[in-house]
Amino acid sequence: MTRSSFSPEAFRSRFPLFAQPENRDLVYLDNAATTQKPAVVIDALAEFYLHSNANTHRSSHRLARRATAMVERVRAQAAGFLNAASPREVVFCRGATEALNLLAFSLCEELERGDEIVLSTIEHHANIVPWQMAAARRGLNLRYIPHTAGVPQFDRLGEVLGPRTRIVSLSGGSNALGLRPDLAGIRRQLRGYNLRWVVDAAQLAAHEPIDVQAIGCDFLVCSAHKFYGPTGIGLLYGREACLAGMVPWQGGGEMIAEVGLYQSQYAGLPHRFEAGTSSLAGIAALGATLEFLREQDRTAMAAHEQGLLARLHEGIAALPGLRLLSQPQHNLGVAAFAPEAGDASDLMHWLDGRDIAVRVGSHCAQPLLRAAGSGPTVRASLAAYNSYADVEALLVAVADYLQLDQSLASAAGGTCHWSRDSLGALQLERLAAQRSWQDRYRELLRWGKSISAKPEIRLPANLVRGCEADAWLVHREEGGRHYFAFDSDSRVVKGLAALLLSQVDGREAGEIRTRDLAGLFRELGLARHLSESRSNGFHALLQQIQALVSD
Ligand code: PLP
């Protein structure tokens, strides 16, 4: 098939999820977590189960032979996708995480106490924790590339290399900031050292063609679901000479040549690293994914993504009240930002109310965010099916949120009481009467404004246990009636607390105990629309109220 130049609209039309009635307005910007799947990939999954489903034992019946041939055909395709020298260098695994665990186990088995592994602060937890586990098991030392506020100075890699360095395992692109290191620069610094270089290409493979020979690494890992493929299948590339010297990490069927009672002989490469039944339908769908990508003009795809990324950064940088953590240069497609005041989760919920899917949290990169002195960030991550309209929708929604936040903050006027908040004006009917979730959410945020700032109650003893956002609750009883005061940085949590307190404040214990407040939470549609962490926060607060009135 001849390559055509890239049309984002035509590309998007290949993804049936966007054509479903409930997704017509969806702005999907959570691609670093996982991408949507084109019809050819979804069809390939069904096709495998319809026509080829059998386990892959080489000398078996017709269907089994067919499945076996398919697996080896996709392996050859994957070798082409990575530009590996041979299909023997391609191991199927569940994804980047499993591949990194395999490497951490098998490579470290051969190391000696005191040997060193070099990592960076920008790594995904999947490229930190397996090495920590191996280091603890084998008495190895972890070293980190020098960094500035968590961002590794890759040009100073040489400072942490030494005669005991055996493994260097580094990101090919950060999921939290998008930062793409200069792999050629890393290669130059590694020259002359006797070590193994692992590239975590979980993000990289989604945005650039991979050429392991040009990169010059010994190992590279990636997950199909990040590049429009199915979940549950990934690739481990290993240079043949390196793989050949490694012990298998899991034992079982498929990875053996001969099994005795006390010893076994392992299969050849790469099967000795593939114990048990693989995700065969996943491999079939991976084959369809690789073919789909081969037909695309990937240079034009990347250029489209970079255009969106530049606009996203320009737009966010122009919004007052936001802190931008990512940079548009050397970035695979991520904008990371957080409101300067308040809770990033509130912003995420606001965006969700407009059907804009972004992610909030530490993005499996806690060491990076800690070193950056940052709390949770909002991450908008791009794929080639995103449009400039998607980016503008995000920017408008964020601007609206900041404006609302600003008006709520000035209305609160910094009042600071010990006394209870006046919640009498909060009418449940008014909240319930809001038809759309977005309007109900806006009303809830308004309710949150009734909860004034109370620095005095922000004491460890008053913390609401089980609530992810910091939240404080105090209580007193007068003449058999129970009174409460509450505070939190999160506007949503404040809104939920206002809802709860409006139902219990000033009432008697028996009345509070018998009110079905969890039922009210469901009836208002909050259980359906709010994230698990916010739902947990509501229930934690409810539990604490119940416990306080029972004491
Ligand atoms: N490495 C990076 C850079 C990632 O972004 C991810 C997933 O987000 C992983 C590793 C782990 O990938 P998976 O969850 O597919 O195993």
Pocket test for ligand 1, best of 93, 121, 124 (most atoms within 8 A of CB): 124
Closest residue to atom 12 of ligand 1, CA basis: 96
Residue with tokens 């099994």: 259
Whether 289 and 356 map to the same domain: the answer is no
Per the domain annotation, does 498 fall within a domain?
Answer: yes
Nearest CA-CA partner of 102 in 266, 268, 195, 234: 234
Q: Candidates 30, 93, 97: which one to mutate for ligand 1, based on the most atoms within 8 Å of Cβ?
A: 97
Using the atom order of ligand 1, give the atom closest to the CA of residue 174.
3
The enclosing domain of 497 has a CATH number of: 3.90.1010.10
Same domain, 136 and 220: yes
Residue 264 domain flag = yes
Task: Please choose from 175, 180, 289 the residue to mutate so as to test ligand 1's pocket, defined by most ligand atoms within 8 A of CB.
Answer: 175
DSSP secondary structure code for residue 110 in this structure: T
Q: How many CB atoms lie under 10 A from the CB of residue 53?
A: 15
Ligand 1 centroid–CA 233 distance in Å is 12
Measured between alpha carbons, how far is residue 302 from residues 1, 221, 224, 309, 406 in Å?
20, 20, 18, 10, 37
Q: At what angle do helices 388-412 and 344-353 cross, to 10 degrees?
A: 120
Coil, helix or strand at residue 95: coil
- Domain endpoint, select from 264, 294, 324: 294
Under a CB-based contact definition with an 8 Å cutoff, are residues 49 and 281 in contact?
A: yes
Going 307 to 308 to 311 to 316, the CA torsion angle's sign is: negative
Report which ligand 1 atom has the smallest distance to the Cα of 173: 3
Is residue 511 a part of any domain in this protein? yes
Distance 172 CA to ligand 1 centre (A): 11
Any residues with CB less than 8 A from the CB of 85 and at least 6 apart, and which? 79, 213, 239, 240
Ligand 1 atom with the shortest distance to the CA of 97? 16
Q: Residue 93 catalytic?
A: no
- The dihedral built from the CA positions of residue 482, 483, 486 and 492, taken in this order, carries a sign that is positive
Ligand 1 atom 4: the closest Cα is on which residue? 202
Asked if residue 290 and residue 301 are part of one domain, the reply reads no
- Domain membership flag for residue 35: no
Q: Determine contact, residues 25/326, Cβ cutoff 8 Å.
A: no
Residue-level pLDDT at 414? 41
Closest residue CA from atom 14 of ligand 1: 97
Q: Per the residue annotation, which of 93, 108, 217, 364 is the catalytic one?
A: 364
58 Cβ contact list (under 8 Å, min separation 6): 64, 65, 68
CA of 102 to the centre of ligand 1 (A): 14
Probe ligand 1: pick from 92, 207, 226, 381, max atoms within 8 Å of CB? Answer: 226
Cα dist. 59→64, 212, 236, 350 in Å?
Answer: 8, 33, 26, 57
Q: Where are the beta strands (DSSP E) in 191-295?
A: 196-200, 219-223, 234-238, 256-259, 264-266
**Atom 5 in ligand 1: residue holding the nearest Cα:** 175
Measured in angstroms, how far is the CA atom of residue 186 from the centroid of ligand 1?
A: 21
- Note whether 190 and 124 are same-domain residues: yes
What are the Cα distances from residue 190, in Å, to 148, 359, 479? Answer: 21, 35, 75
Claim to verify: residue 66 and residue 86 sit in the same structural domain: yes
**Distance from residue 126's CA to the centre of ligand 1 (Å):** 6
Residue 21 maps to a domain: yes
- In the reported structure, the alpha carbon of residue 98 is separated from the centroid of ligand 1 by a whole-number distance in angstroms of 10
Instruction: Examine the domain organization and report whether 545 and 447 are in the same domain.
Output: yes
- Residue 231 CA, closest ligand 1 atom number: 15
Q: Which atom of ligand 1 is nearest the CA belonging to 172?
A: 3
Q: Which atom of ligand 1 is nearest to the CA of 234?
A: 15
* The two three-digit tokens of residue 329, written as one number: 């240069």
Return the residue whose CA atom lies nearest to atom 8 of ligand 1. Answer: 33
Instruction: Pick the atom of ligand 1 nearest to 175's CA.
Output: 5
Are the CB atoms for 200 and 170 separated by under 8 Å?
Answer: yes
The pLDDT tens digits along the chain (551 residues) read 444 589 999 999 999 999 999 999 999 999 999 999 999 999 999 999 999 999 997 678 999 999 999 999 999 999 999 999 999 999 999 999 999 999 999 999 999 999 999 999 999 999 999 999 999 999 999 999 999 999 999 999 999 999 999 999 999 999 999 999 999 999 999 999 999 999 999 999 999 999 999 999 999 999 999 999 999 999 999 999 999 999 999 999 999 999 999 999 999 999 999 999 999 999 999 999 999 999 999 999 999 999 999 999 999 999 999 999 999 999 999 999 999 887 898 899 889 989 999 999 999 999 999 998 888 999 999 999 999 999 999 999 999 999 887 776 665 444 434 467 888 778 888 888 888 888 888 889 999 999 988 888 887 778 898 887 889 999 888 888 898 999 998 888 999 999 999 999 888 999 898 889 999 898 888 888 888 888 888 999 999 999 888 87
CB-defined site of ligand 1, < 6 Å? 95-97, 124, 126-127, 171, 175, 200, 202-203, 223
Given the CA of residue 200, which atom of ligand 1 is nearest to it?
1
Residue 60 counted as domain residue: yes
Residue 5 has what pLDDT? 80
426 and 496 in a single domain? The answer is: yes
How far does residue 452's CA lie from ligand 1's centre (Å)?
41
**Separation of CA 171 and ligand 1 centre (Å):** 10
Q: Does one domain contain both 401 and 440?
A: no
356 and 472 housed in the same domain = no
Host domain of residue 456: 413-550
Contact 394, 380 (CB under 8 A): yes
135, amino acid identity: A
Candidate from 122, 223, 228, 332 with most ligand 1 atoms within 8 A of CB, to mutate = 223
What CATH number is attached to the domain comprising 183? 3.40.640.10
530 CA distance to ligand 1 middle (Å): 25
Residues 288 and 189 grouped into a single domain: yes
182 and 268 together in one domain: yes
Domain boundary among the residues 347, 373, 405 is at 405
Structural domain includes residue 502: yes
Last residue of a domain, one of 248, 268, 294: 294
- CA dihedral defined by 12, 17, 19, 21, rounded to 10 degrees? -150
Separation of CA 462 and ligand 1 centre (Å): 37
- Asked whether residue 286 falls in the same domain as residue 387, the answer is no
| Rounded distance between C-alpha atoms, residue 41 and residue 484, angstroms | 55
Q: What pLDDT, in 10s, does the model give residues 446-485?
A: 999 999 888 888 877 788 988 878 899 998 888 888 989 9
Residue 467 near residue 493 (C-beta atoms within 8 A):
yes
Question: Which helix (H) or strand (E) element contains residue 62?
Answer: helix 62-82
Please report, for the domain that includes residue 352, its CATH number: 3.90.1150.10
Nearest 5°: CA angle at 385, between 394 and 83?
Answer: 130
Burial of 73 (0-12, 13-18, 19+ CB in 10 A): middle
Question: What is the number of domains present in the chain?
Answer: 3
Whether residue 365 lies inside any domain: the answer is yes
Closest CA to 402 of 338, 357, 476, 328: 338
